[in-house]
Chains A and B, each alone.
Chain A
Amino acid sequence: MTMRHEAIFYHGAGEYADAVGGRVTAALDAGQPVLVAVPEERADLLRDVIGERPGAVEYLDMDSVGRNPARIIPMVAEFIDHCAGRPSTGIGEPAWPDRSEAETAEVVRHEALVNTAFAGTTSDLLCPYDAAALQADALEAAARTHPVVNIEGQARESATFTDPAEVWSSTRHLPAAPPGAPTLEFDRGRLAAVRDLVVELAGEHLPAARARHLVIAANEVASNSVQHAGGTGTVRVWAEPDAVVCEIRDAGRLTDQLAGRRAPEPAHGRGLWLANQLCDLVQLHPDGAGTVVRMRVGFTPGS
């Protein structure tokens, strides 16, 4: 048995309950551990279908845990690790209509990387897509990132499934930073200045704790630039109507597409992972000869 990554296109609550609830019930009947990570109102629909099965299903609110799509893979990996090789089923609904363009692009990249991250597992990873509410291009992207697409109860191979690495590389929503955004070049001795720059603007626009989240994330990513990308980088920070954005560019070549999406390991890899946990969105992209990391923290979590 191998990993199955399937997009389920649904129209309305009834179809959701039938298509997704049916798969969960079947998995439970087969004795599989089940993880359900969907927006809370969708979880309520599934609870109605599944009924009382105490402890059988682990529910997570995707609106919270998956706000930054880069947090989803480590979360699913932990679930699969706990299954210790047993077949399991994960329901993940990372796309919803009011996601921003930048978030939606990162959802697409996340879905592509799911194929890479869980290639060797024996899990069914099923991703409901609200076909009635999502834009057509979101559904087209789902078909490119899922080897199997289920439409009106019929599962078939996706004709447009695309190499995950290519999707990851070609999907991008990074509008230019606003001209005049405060900018600073940094090296090992200027990390405190990076933090000062971020806290000055973030402190003006965000609650204190949220501002500190962005400061920690910026420090971690800037530290990576110093350690792994030639010792220097450039930080830029600006405010948007509902968030503060910090961008760090360096000359490092990004070779690991799953960077920051694996559970932290003792020797390395905690910095970007931590940034993913603290920010509402982290966009990590190759950029010319280097790398750009754009981090966003909203006024409230998820804004």
Chain B
Amino acid sequence: MLGRPLPSTRYRGRVRRNGSVTSASGLVPFAHLGWGYRGRDEFDARAAEFLADGLAQQQWVELVGDGSRDELEQRLCALPGGAEALEAGRAGVLPIDDAHVYDNSGVVDPKASVERRVAAIDEATGRGFSGVRGIFDATALVPTPEHREAFTELEHLLDQKMAVLPVSALCAYDLDQLGSHADELVCLHPFTDASNGQFRIFATGEGRLALCGELDLANRELFALVCTRLLPRLEGEVVIDIGGVPYVEHNALVLLDELAARRDAPVVLRNADTLVRHVTDLLRLDHLQVAPPT
């Protein structure tokens, strides 16, 4: 099945390629995909799809997960084409402990980790690959709210890089271990699995985000949690393109206004429906800026 984005959302503006997908295939040349999986079979199916596209695109493909190099190599070799790619030096493995930089509690250091990942892109392109494609099982890195908060920034900073650099990632989170907490991280990707059904908030550049999907009571807590983790960690003006949001309840606007009030620099909504401005005016949400239609 092709991983063609589902036509679930109409956009009022132009925004980085994104969508809900039913497989990890077809996201070429580069994409950032978040996936909540159940069981090894589902993970391997998506990993195989992502691997195949990467090899076809002449990208360096890396399986990153919990376990030793030997264990990860066995898992890579079990994927269709994995053993051949490993043998040919076109794919490799990386224990998750070596992929990022952590503090003593195992909480990721977002900025240092991003530097490490960017260096890996330079290294791979220096070896003649057209880019890097990582297949991450990050479940082991996000067991607690503290871990997930730091990982929120990491996902976002990496997503910023993926908007401009030759790098892709499939970020898989084990639903059997994380339950609904997986949503806190999956929603930070421009592409997500269609069964997720949540909003998506992803980077379109430094200080630039896009938000897609409906915001109402059903995901109010998740939206508040993600924004409360993410926005205070961003520096300077933050512009959020909400052209892909068919409906936004007023509570979400109030939350963004409260977060904007705590920042030194503005939070601006772009491509908002005219009624968003009407509601922020009615509620006198003076900290949140709504850019006029362009």
Minimum CB–CB distance from A197 to chain B (whole Å) comes to 13
Given contacts A209-B274, A270-B283, A274-B279, contact A188 B218 (CB under 8 A): yes
- The residue from B216, B249, B251, B275 contacting A212, defined by CB atoms under 8 A apart: B275
Compute how far the CA of A195 lies from the CA of B218 in the bound complex, rounded to whole angstroms.
13
B216 and A219 contact, CB distance less than 8 A = yes
* Residue A191 CB within 8 A of the other chain: yes
The interface size of chain A toward B, counting residues with CB under 8 Å, comes to: 21
* Residue B250 CB within 8 A of the other chain: yes
Q: Contact mask A192-223 → B, CB, 8 Å, 1/0? A: 10010000000000000100110110011001
Residues in chain A near residue B217, CB distance under 8 A = 188, 191, 223, 226-227
Compute how far the CA of A266 lies from the CA of B251 in the bound complex, rounded to whole angstroms.
10
B249 and A223 contact, CB distance less than 8 A = yes
Q: Contact mask B254-285 → A, CB, 8 Å, 1/0? A: 10000000000000000001110001001100
A192 and B282 contact, CB distance less than 8 A = no
B250 and A270 contact, CB distance less than 8 A = yes
* Residue A264 CB within 8 A of the other chain: yes
Residues in chain A near residue B11, CB distance under 8 A = none
- The residue from B214, B254, B273 contacting A270, defined by CB atoms under 8 A apart: B254
Compute how far the CA of A191 lies from the CA of B214 in the bound complex, rounded to whole angstroms.
10
Q: Which residue of B lies closest to A189 (CB)?
A: B218
* Residue A271 CB within 8 A of the other chain: yes
Q: Which 6 A-B pairs have the closest CB atoms?
A: A223-B217, A191-B216, A212-B275, A277-B282, A188-B218, A274-B250
27 interchain pairs, CB-CB under 8 A: A188-B217, A188-B218, A189-B218, A191-B216, A191-B217, A191-B218, A192-B214, A192-B218, A195-B216, A209-B274, A209-B275, A213-B275, A216-B279, A219-B216, A219-B249, A220-B249, A223-B216, A223-B217, A223-B249, A227-B217, A266-B254, A270-B251, A270-B254, A270-B283, A274-B250, A274-B279, A274-B283
Residues of B bordering A, CB below 8 Å: 214, 216-218, 247, 249-251, 254, 273-275, 279, 282-283
Residues of A bordering B, CB below 8 Å: 188-189, 191-192, 195, 209, 212-213, 215-216, 219-220, 223, 226-227, 264, 266, 270-271, 274, 277
